[in-house]
């Protein structure tokens, strides 16, 4: 797979977590399937005319084509949350997604063709995958995750739990609905571990020196929802990265 070049080095995020071996029982461990899911993302902006005129319908068409095969992520600036704008400003340039909008990327590779998606989804080799459960109480969201390794691996792996919000009504330049455009798959913020106040835009450490096949990591995160968001419109996109000397390598993704 093509390397993802980081223009911005990330700080190592240490986080307390529960780890279980395949022989141990844990009531907090969720079932994780040995499957691959791709990421289809777009870097977009509300002020961008082409983002509304052709970027918007192209993204929706991809959702029909790759339903249940990909995590769809709309990285958007100047929208409903300050955290969302921060993610847009830092994640986009760091993964060399380009300065122009709209920019489409597959598995964090900008302007790639769909073979990147198909090769990942159809591969029999699954390095690791995750699952989650979400509880909402008022404006507080608690996220419980389990990540399982299906191969023996070496190195540092990270889990990024991005909060996704659907059906947000707002302005989009170039779109026929203007101020009443319904936005989907908006990456609003990243959840943070319940054990720390530190927020890392590129995820939290799963392993330091690799893992054996069957190794699992249980992590709990928390995030805030805006009052205007319906709970049914909130989901999470879990992205696993591996830290390489040159940056972060996409491993796998999961959403519901």
Q: How far apart are CA 101 and CA 103, in angstroms?
A: 5
Establish if 197 belongs to a structural domain.
Answer: yes
For 11-38, b/e burial (b = at least 16 CB within 10 A) is eebebebeebeeeeeeeebbebeeebbb
Total domain count, the chain:
1
Establish if 4 belongs to a structural domain.
Answer: no
Establish if 59 belongs to a structural domain.
Answer: yes
Establish if 213 belongs to a structural domain.
Answer: yes
Whether 145 and 238 have beta carbons less than 8 Å apart is answered as: yes
Q: How far apart are CA 134 and CA 140, in angstroms?
A: 10
- 123: domain CATH number? 2.60.40.10
Give the domain range for residue 189: 18-254
Neighbours of 83 (CB within 10 A): 17
Strand partners, 242: 157, 249
Q: Distances from the Cα of 137 to the Cαs of 114, 134, 191, 252, in angstroms?
A: 39, 10, 15, 29
The pTM for the full model equals: 0.89
Establish if 5 belongs to a structural domain.
Answer: no
At residue 27, the pLDDT reads 56
pLDDT in tens, the chain (256 residues): 433 333 333 333 333 344 433 333 345 799 999 999 999 999 999 999 999 999 999 999 999 999 999 999 999 988 888 899 999 898 888 887 777 899 999 999 998 999 999 999 999 999 999 999 999 999 999 999 999 999 999 999 999 999 999 999 999 999 999 999 999 999 999 999 999 888 999 999 999 999 999 999 999 999 999 999 999 999 999 999 999 999 999 999 999 9
Rounded to a whole number, what is the distance in angstroms from the first to the last CA of the chain?
Answer: 25
At residue 25, the pLDDT reads 38
At residue 20, the pLDDT reads 38
């Amino acid at each position: 797979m093509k390397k993802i070049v980081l223009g911005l080095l990330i700080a190592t995020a240490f986080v307390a977590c529960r780890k279980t071996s395949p022989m141990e029982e844990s009531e907090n461990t969720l079932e994780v399937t040995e499957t691959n899911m791709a990421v289809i993302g777009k870097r977009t902006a509300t002020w961008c005319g082409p983002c509304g005129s052709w970027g918007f319908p192209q993204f929706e068409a991809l959702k029909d084509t790759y339903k249940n095969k990909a995590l769809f992520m709309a990285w958007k600036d100047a929208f409903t949350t300050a955290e969302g704008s921060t993610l847009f400003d830092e994640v986009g340039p760091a993964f060399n997604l380009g300065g122009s909008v709209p920019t489409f990327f597959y598995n964090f590779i900008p302007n790639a063709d769909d073979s990147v998606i198909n090769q990942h989804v159809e591969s029999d080799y699954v390095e690791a995958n995750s699952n989650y459960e979400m509880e909402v109480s008022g404006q507080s969201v608690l996220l419980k995750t389990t990540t399982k390794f299906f191969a023996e691996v070496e190195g540092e792996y990270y889990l990024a739990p991005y909060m996704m919000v659907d059906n947000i009504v707002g302005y989009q330049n170039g779109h026929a609905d203007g101020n009443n455009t319904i936005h989907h798959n908006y990456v609003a913020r990243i959840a943070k571990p319940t054990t720390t106040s530190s927020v890392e835009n590129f995820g939290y450490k799963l392993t330091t020196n690799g893992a054996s096949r069957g190794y699992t990591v249980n992590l709990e995160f928390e995030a805030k929802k805006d009052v205007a968001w319906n709970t049914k419109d909130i989901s999470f996109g879990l992205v696993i990265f591996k830290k390489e000397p040159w940056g972060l390598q996409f491993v796998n993704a999961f959403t519901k």
